Amino acid sequence: MSAKRSYLFVPAISEKMMGKALSSGADSVIFDLEDAVAINEKEIARERAKNYLLNHLVNKDVYIRINDFTTVYWRSDIECAVESGANGIIVPKAESGSNMKVICQSVLELLERSGRKEDRFEVLPLIETASGVHFAYEIANSHSLVPRLVFGSIDYSLDIDCELTDGGEELYYARSQIVNASRAAGIGSPVDAVYPDLSNEEGLSREALRARNSGFKSKLAIHPKQLNVIHNVFTPDEKVLQEAREIVEAFEEAELKGHASISVRNKLVDYPVYKKAKGLLQYSGF
């Protein structure tokens, strides 16, 4: 399975915009029913998203960002995602494990009704408040449908009343908490937040690099023009991939002979190093 480096948001208000997002270089696309859609357009956008997926051949993973749990829209949004064949949902304002369990149980009921398999659908909690960061482990560990967390830095900064800066120091704690919670819960590496300044490629690159160094393996995007920068940061270079191939091949050969600790390029290789190298090979197809 190939890794996902980018998740591109597109408002579910225009069939043309959804088509452009799907024809872009994004690894996956998010049809947005929440922030990008006015209240009086919610039901229209939901039907447009559903009809698009049912009537077009889609060649990449598509997620639906539903409206949050406190609104009247969330369950209908989940129905849209399940019935349209979307790969999963993004759950905004995820703040507790108990709420995530309710949402995931609703997903299971709808999957069963539609005949879809549970292991083909993902529920991605969007951590974008102080409560969400505080309860990140509880959220990450809430249900088997949750494979990774997603960070929303803009709403988080509004919630804690801080300023977003070029250096990003104000987000170190939240990013570290989300990465640590993901690892402790045994789920995949999280997805980093959007970068709102479309005119600043250098700023996007610096932020993506900070996120990668913190343990994130992918990033949200709000425009196709951001994808090249994101992919450049989150794709290991060929030298790193070649070393990973050597580690995997040598370790698997040694393991067959009963050895679980070897040396490759004068470096110790044991199970943790092997597993990291194996994970890097997800990027070999890019």
Q: Do 31 and 139 fall into the same domain?
A: yes
Examine residue 179 and state whether it is found in any structural domain, yes or no. Answer: yes
Q: Do 164 and 244 fall into the same domain?
A: no
3-state secondary structure of 58: coil
**To 5 degrees, how large is the angle CA 120–CA 17–CA 228?**
75
Cα separation values, 218 from 33, 105, 133, 263, Å: 22, 27, 18, 30
pLDDT by residue, tens only, the chain of 286 residues: 468 999 999 999 999 999 999 999 999 999 999 999 999 999 999 999 999 999 999 999 999 999 999 999 999 999 999 999 999 999 999 999 999 999 999 999 999 999 999 889 999 999 999 999 999 999 999 999 999 999 999 999 999 999 999 999 999 999 999 999 999 999 999 999 999 999 999 999 999 999 999 999 999 999 999 999 999 999 988 888 899 999 999 999 999 999 889 999 888 999 989 988 888 888 877 7
Q: Do 147 and 132 fall into the same domain?
A: yes
Q: Do 184 and 208 fall into the same domain?
A: yes
| pTM given for the model | 0.91
Distance, CA of 16 to CA of 241 (rounded, Å): 37
Q: Do 65 and 174 fall into the same domain?
A: yes
What's the domain count of the chain?
2
| DSSP code for 235 | S
Q: Do 196 and 246 fall into the same domain?
A: no
Distance, CA of 196 to CA of 123 (rounded, Å): 24
Which range of residues forms the domain containing residue 174? 6-234
- Are the CB atoms for 269 and 232 separated by under 8 Å? no
